[in-house]
Amino acid sequence: MKFVDEVSIRVKAGDGGNGCMSFRREKFIENGGPNGGDGGDGGSIYMMADENLNTLVDYRYTRHFDAERGSNGGSTDCTGKKGEDLVLRVPVGTTIIDSATQEVIGDLTKAGQKLMVVQGGWHGLGNTRFKSSTNRAPRQTTPGKPGEQRDLKLEMKVLADVGLLGLPNAGKSTFIRSVSAAKPKVADYPFTTLVPNLGVVSVDRWKSFVIADIPGLIEGASDGAGLGIRFLKHLSRTRLLLHLVDMAPLDDTSAPDAAEVIVSELTKFSPSLAERDRWLVLNKCDQILEEEHEERVKEIVDRLEWTGPVYVISAIAKEGTERLTRDIMRYLEDRADRLAADPVFKAELAELDQRIEDEARAQLQALDDQRALRRSGVKSVHDIGDDDWDEEDVDDEDGPEIIYVRD
């Protein structure tokens, strides 16, 4: 199945039905009064979060959605039928954005949550509504109002408690396989992971958390290089980040240099996301001699000037992973307790979450704009003169849409 996490669609609510002009006509009643009924309201369009969906692929090829129009009014004061509402189902974690204004209309974070995105037009009035003591036979009606229309951008972010960061082949997919039942593809070449993978980690019988693995980052990712930059947004709703570093890279690269690349690209993408609680996880300790562990750890920690928690593990051998998952579970429980007891802490986290969302959206929009310019033959927005803004040269305003296919 294709993994699609961004789509653009157009939604149009139903128009209201027109009012009817009609007069009572019966035997022995020569001058019957008006009896034209009102039209029906147009149908509205709603978005609903569905826990059974995990991709927006249903909206990849069908992008225009129209709700039903309200029926016209009838004689004998019959009101027209209301247009049927249209409910579009999207995955939990979908953000709905107005493409024209970039306004966030809503965020569907709970299963069953429902949001109206366009409202149906109001019904027109029949001539019965206009009768009065001075106007016994009104011939006035009103048409139904047109329904709202909007161009929307749907952004899906996976909902996970913990997110994994690291270069390609740092062992992120191996780690998620070792601690959960998820089975992402694992291979000895870079960019094995092309789409985010989720795994549920069970610590005790009634305790578990969700962990997310995204495609690896590379140097220059904040400028659009590689795959991982478009998926960093999926980490914006996590509670904790795990920075995985390969302690024993097979090539001639340096582990401290690799760790620095991730920190640098994360900060460039979103300084606020870099403020999220982050733990350093040094993987593949089984690939080096045990007496070299301490020296290698010190080298990485000193280079990063790291003061947070540090874990040394081997994901493939499941060495140190149980202690790490139990500490994560304890951290998440303590965090939840503090959120419930400390309103100030809750407000601070809400403010941080909002900054992360805003920065991630702005960064991805800037990358899309830059790619659109490159397709039109312009290297940078600074290269455009006043005479270069031609409507015929404007590229797709929604930017490029990248679809990754799961093997």
- Can you say which residues are annotated as belonging to the binding site for Mg(2+)? 173, 193
Asked whether the beta carbons of 142 and 19 are under 8 A apart, the reply is yes
The 10 Å Cβ neighbour count of residue 185 is 12
Distances (CA, A) of 204 to 83, 183, 277, 329: 51, 21, 23, 10
The span from the CA of 246 to the CA of 205, in Å, is 31
Locate all alpha helices (DSSP H) within 200-320, ordered by sequence.
255-269, 271-274, 293-304
3-state SS record for 285-300: HHHCCHHHHHHHHHHH
Locate all alpha helices (DSSP H) within 215-279, ordered by sequence.
255-269, 271-274
Annotated binding site: 166-173, 191-195, 213-216, 283-286, 314-316
| Strand, coil or helix: 183 | coil
Q: How many residues does the chain have?
A: 407
Distances (CA, A) of 157 to 4, 164, 206, 253: 11, 15, 26, 32
Annotated binding site for GTP: 166-173, 191-195, 213-216, 283-286, 314-316
Burial class (CB in 10 A: 0-12, 13-18, 19+), 221: buried
Burial class (CB in 10 A: 0-12, 13-18, 19+), 85: middle
The span from the CA of 133 to the CA of 16, in Å, is 29
Contacts of 169 (CB under 8 A, 6+ apart): 188, 189, 190, 192, 216, 246, 249
Cα 180 off chain centre by:
24
